[in-house]
Amino acid sequence: MNIQNLEQWMKKIKVTNKVNADVEVVNNSPLLMMGKGRQGAVFQLTNDMCVKVFGNTEDCDREYYALSLGQQTALFPKLYGKGPLYIVMEIIQGVDLREYLQSQPLTKTLSARLIEMLITFKKIGFERIDHHKRQIYLQPDGSLKVIDVARTIWRDRVYPYPRKLLTSLGEENKAIFLSHVQEMAPELYAEWLHYIHMEEISRQITTVLLPQEPDKDKIKNLSNTLLTTAEEKNYVTKLQGLVHKVFKEEWVKTMLARGVDPEKVMAKIDEHWDQLEQNFDERHPEGENSYAGVRGFEGDRGIRGDREPRGGKHFEGDRGRRSKGAKGAKGGRHFAGDRYENRDRHDEKRDKKKDKKKGR
């Protein structure tokens, strides 16, 4: 058959993708369809060449790229040409693994070939080192060939073990294959077994979580314990702590951007906030209907009791960033998490001073 008419024949073949089904094919060309699948249909050109026609350009480009990666190996069909929606390639002869295992045993030699196939997938850059048994063909010399490799690349999420291959083998041959892997590659077997176990646990968890409807009334009632604005004194505590945190973070960022010594920045912040608290205490002495006892809130370890020392080394929101541009910064210190060295010593000294003032 003269394949010079290929472009004209391609115009007479219409392949349409279907959801979770094989493609729909309208063939008005003289080409004989050899088979079809989810991405496309294959037509015979010559005794040794075929053309695979796709329903969309994305699947066509993916398969061509995947086949191109394997052209330096003997595992993939040879490529002869490509169009927007078709690929011309070698016809793969032999018997597929699904048919073979219906009458023949899974030998240790064949298992070794399958492991070598997965190794090849990994070497050439396939993201999914896996394949269904019906897409694996045994050749007369015992070697393997694979087809339909479009979905082995550009996958966001893949199983970290050959799940599709193991599942397609069936329970009996799966057990045989894994026993061969255990004997020939024990570390690989242990890793696959680990992932299989993790998958089983994930499915058990999913069966528990999916069918259950949450008790909305219960959650609503229990969630009231997380509310902080209903009780005014508690609300003031939380709000004061929030303002303190934001103020401190933004001031530090601004000063560091100006190249100010970070120790001086922290000293100014402490001095400023101490003055604010002192003014607040003077306006609201203890015993009145006030918030003199307010010193902090959960998550901030006490606004007064968590006063950071001058010379602090971290602040929240800038974890691990060195103040390289800060003039006078000693050794490029860090700010992350509002946790500073010598905090306890600093707090203790400050609290003693305040206690002396109150005792006067």
CB-side exposure of 258: number of CA atoms within 13 Å?
11
Residue ranges with strand state E in 182-334? none
Domain boundaries, the chain: 3-90, 95-197, 229-359
What does the DSSP 8-state code read for residue 87?
Answer: E
| CA-based R_g, the chain, Å | 35
Sequence-separated (6 or more) residues with CB below 8 Å from residue 87: 51, 52, 54, 60, 63, 64, 67, 79, 81
At 304 the pLDDT is 41
- Count H helices and E strands in the chain, helices first: 10, 10
Tens-digit pLDDT profile for the chain (360 aa)?
556 789 999 999 999 999 989 999 999 999 999 999 989 999 999 999 999 999 999 999 999 999 999 999 999 999 999 999 999 999 999 999 999 999 999 999 999 999 999 999 999 988 888 899 999 999 999 999 999 988 777 666 778 899 999 999 999 999 999 999 999 999 999 999 999 999 999 988 888 887 778 788 888 888 888 888 888 888 888 898 888 888 878 878 888 888 888 777 777 777 877 777 777 767 766 555 444 444 444 444 443 444 444 444 444 444 444 434 434 444 444 443 444 444 444 555 555 555 555 555
Q: Is the pTM of this model over 0.75?
A: no
CATH number (3.20.20.60, 3.30.200.20, 2.60.40.3880, 1.10.1240.10) of 3-90 reads 3.30.200.20
How far is the C-alpha of 238 from the C-alpha of 120, rounded, in Å? 59
186, 195, 300: which is closest to 247 by C-alpha? 300
Look at residues 340, 342, 157 and name the one whose alpha carbon lies nearest to residue 266.
Answer: 340
| Closest of 318, 328, 308, 334 to residue 261, by C-alpha | 328
Strands 86-90 and 79-82, bridge-based pairing: antiparallel
3-state SS of 257-296 is HCCCCHHHHHHHHHHHHHHHHHHHHHHCCCCCCCCCCCCC
Phi then psi dihedrals of residue 137, to 5 deg: -115, 130
DSSP 3-state of 3: helix
d(CA 142, CA 104) in angstroms, rounded, equals: 13
65 vs 149: CA distance, rounded Å: 9
The two structure tokens encoding residue 206: 């999913």
